[in-house]
Chains A and B, each alone.
Chain A
Amino acid sequence: MYKLIKDSISNEINMVRRLSDGACIPFAEANRDYQEFLAWKAEGNEPEEAE
């Protein structure tokens, strides 16, 4: 499970929090955690909305 995060400076959504361990995962193509998130999303899952 994931939750979208807004950047506090730009106010743009550019990360997702992995709720199992609190890790902040950037939207970076070479980041393997981001690739796992994309795979999870491709299975039809949706992250929680950002606050």
Chain B
Amino acid sequence: MASINLQGDTSGSISISAPSVAGSNTLTLPATTQTLATQNALGVRNLFINGDMQIAQRGTSATGVTTSGYNTVDRWRVTTNIAGTWTHSQDTDVPTGQGFTNSHKLLCTTANSSLSASSFIQYQQKFEGQMLQHLKYGTSSAESLTLSMWLKSNKTGTYVVRLFQTGNNRAIHKTFTIDTADTWEKKTLTFTGDTTGVLANDNSSELEVNLWLVAGSNYTSGTQDGDSWVSYTASNTAVDLTVNLADAVNNYINITGVQLEVGDTATPFEVMPYDMELARCQRYFCSSFNAGVAPANGVVASVASIFSAYDNTTGWSAWIPLPVKMRTVPSMTAYRDSVAGTDGQWATYDSGYTTLSSTTLSPGGTDNGFYCNGSRSSAFAAHDTYLLRGNFTADAEL
């Protein structure tokens, strides 16, 4: 083994050793003045949550999508306006040899080859400001960000990625090309830090990463505004986009291995254990349904809580804890059990099931649980215990 020995100014030394291996290997260092971290600082470097598309609490497939929303894969939002009809799915098509098991697929099922001025599709993730303070935006020390991702599409051409500061209305963009149809390609883009826009240190959306897939003239009729941070101008947003992913049925794009990290160098994708990634996703959305089961009425209840009636009226309340503290007080939706009931209503059980006549899931101003309030036609027996069955979703997404 050969070594280079660096002697300290006063004492001590550091040795850099090359192992005895065949061939010539290259270790590339970042082109910047930095400290090379060798312990502790390398973890949780991906700002994206669920970048390998392994968590899909809302289900694994959504058809007939024509509007914006979170469908299937957690944390990834597709904003859509007048741009055809789509199927979103958690797919098993992945780049070979990279260790991924899932990708997120958008498949066009009804085309729009003649876009309206306001047509668009963006593939998007939003970030809380309090998760980004280490970027030091708004200071002379603002950090660069490097985006890396794997993509596959039948549509070759130039695509646009834009970072957008929600609170400051500032943006920066980069382009990349999909060179070969139906082939997985890895793309890497580096964005300079913004020395002007200060990101609020709270739980609001302060930064978005938007991959533009479709854009009408409202977003392409301006001028290319360079690749530095500027005040946002809608017409300049996607000037370089040469693709209309919605122009034919069966157009598609698969995406996985998406990573956004501080610095100017893309490191290997950071694999998070399933349980850790699930918990991170649950800060924004959680449900009582099993993994991959789309929330719906008539699914076997995962919430089976026992409560005691405090008097012999027909109304009651039971407290159900959430698995993690959520980003904010969530919106709650109730689903009926598989055994009995009316859609949207939970049921109680003592000697038999009784469907509630009103179910209200109330977080009561908290981000860590909710009351199930309800009433039924027959009175409870004071101080008797009852089984409560139903499912829920809790939504605190950005």
Q: Do A and B come from one complex?
A: yes
B397 is an interface residue with CB less than 8 A from chain A: yes
B327 is an interface residue with CB less than 8 A from chain A: yes
The distance from the CB of A32 to the nearest CB of chain B, in whole angstroms, is 6
In the complex formed, the residue of B with least CB distance to A37 is B331
The distance from the CB of A10 to the nearest CB of chain B, in whole angstroms, is 8
Question: Which residues of A (11-51) have their CB < 8 Å from a CB of B?
Answer: 14-15, 17-18, 21-26, 28, 30-34
Bound: A20/B219 CA distance, A:
31
The distance from the CB of A38 to the nearest CB of chain B, in whole angstroms, is 14
Report yes or no: B329 in contact with A26, Cβ–Cβ below 8 A. Answer: yes
Report yes or no: A24 in contact with B327, Cβ–Cβ below 8 A. Answer: no
Partner of B334 from the list A22, A31, A32 (CB cut-off 8 Å) is: A22
Report yes or no: A24 in contact with B328, Cβ–Cβ below 8 A. Answer: no
- In the complex, chain B residues whose CB is within 8 Å of the CB of A21: 333
- In the complex, chain B residues whose CB is within 8 Å of the CB of A34: 331
Number of B positions contacting A (CB below 8 A) = 25
Bound: A8/B278 CA distance, A:
32
In the complex formed, the residue of A with least CB distance to B343 is A22
Interface class of chain A by DSSP: mixed
Report yes or no: A24 in contact with B362, Cβ–Cβ below 8 A. Answer: yes
In the complex formed, the residue of A with least CB distance to B364 is A7
In the complex formed, the residue of B with least CB distance to A15 is B362
Bound: A33/B397 CA distance, A:
9
Report yes or no: A23 in contact with B364, Cβ–Cβ below 8 A. Answer: no
In the complex formed, the residue of A with least CB distance to B315 is A8
- In the complex, chain B residues whose CB is within 8 Å of the CB of A33: 331, 395
Report yes or no: A26 in contact with B398, Cβ–Cβ below 8 A. Answer: no
- In the complex, chain A residues whose CB is within 8 Å of the CB of B360: 5, 8, 15, 17, 24
Bound: A21/B343 CA distance, A:
10
Report yes or no: A28 in contact with B371, Cβ–Cβ below 8 A. Answer: no
The distance from the CB of A11 to the nearest CB of chain B, in whole angstroms, is 11
In the complex formed, the residue of B with least CB distance to A26 is B329
Bound: A28/B365 CA distance, A:
8
Partner of A23 from the list B203, B315, B332, B371 (CB cut-off 8 Å) is: B332
Report yes or no: B317 in contact with A9, Cβ–Cβ below 8 A. Answer: yes
Report yes or no: A8 in contact with B371, Cβ–Cβ below 8 A. Answer: yes
Bound: A7/B315 CA distance, A:
12
Partner of A8 from the list B327, B328, B373 (CB cut-off 8 Å) is: B373
In the complex formed, the residue of B with least CB distance to A22 is B344
Decide: A31 near B373, CB < 8 A? Known: A9-B364, A26-B363: no
- In the complex, chain B residues whose CB is within 8 Å of the CB of A14: 362, 364-365
Report yes or no: A8 in contact with B396, Cβ–Cβ below 8 A. Answer: no
Bound: A36/B327 CA distance, A:
17
Report yes or no: B365 in contact with A24, Cβ–Cβ below 8 A. Answer: no
Bound: A5/B334 CA distance, A:
15
Bound: A9/B315 CA distance, A:
11
In the complex formed, the residue of A with least CB distance to B375 is A8
B204 is an interface residue with CB less than 8 A from chain A: yes
In the complex formed, the residue of A with least CB distance to B332 is A24
Report yes or no: A23 in contact with B397, Cβ–Cβ below 8 A. Answer: no
Question: Which residues of B (328-352) have their CB < 8 Å from a CB of A?
Answer: 328-334, 344
- From B330, B331, B334, B360, residue with most partner A Cβ within 10 Å: B331
- In the complex, chain A residues whose CB is within 8 Å of the CB of B333: 21-24
Decide: A28 near B328, CB < 8 A? Known: A8-B315, A22-B344, A23-B333: yes
Report yes or no: B361 in contact with A9, Cβ–Cβ below 8 A. Answer: no
- In the complex, chain A residues whose CB is within 8 Å of the CB of B371: 8-9
Report yes or no: A28 in contact with B332, Cβ–Cβ below 8 A. Answer: no
24 inter-chain pairs at a CB distance below 8 angstroms, sorted by A residue, are A5-B360, A5-B362, A8-B362, A8-B373, A9-B317, A14-B362, A14-B364, A15-B360, A17-B360, A21-B333, A23-B333, A24-B360, A24-B362, A25-B331, A26-B329, A28-B365, A30-B204, A30-B327, A30-B328, A30-B329, A31-B328, A31-B329, A31-B330, A31-B396
B residues neighboring A (CB under 8 Å): 203-204, 315, 317, 327-334, 344, 360-365, 371, 373, 395-398
4 tightest CB-CB pairs across the interface, nearest first?
A30-B328, A28-B329, A8-B373, A26-B329
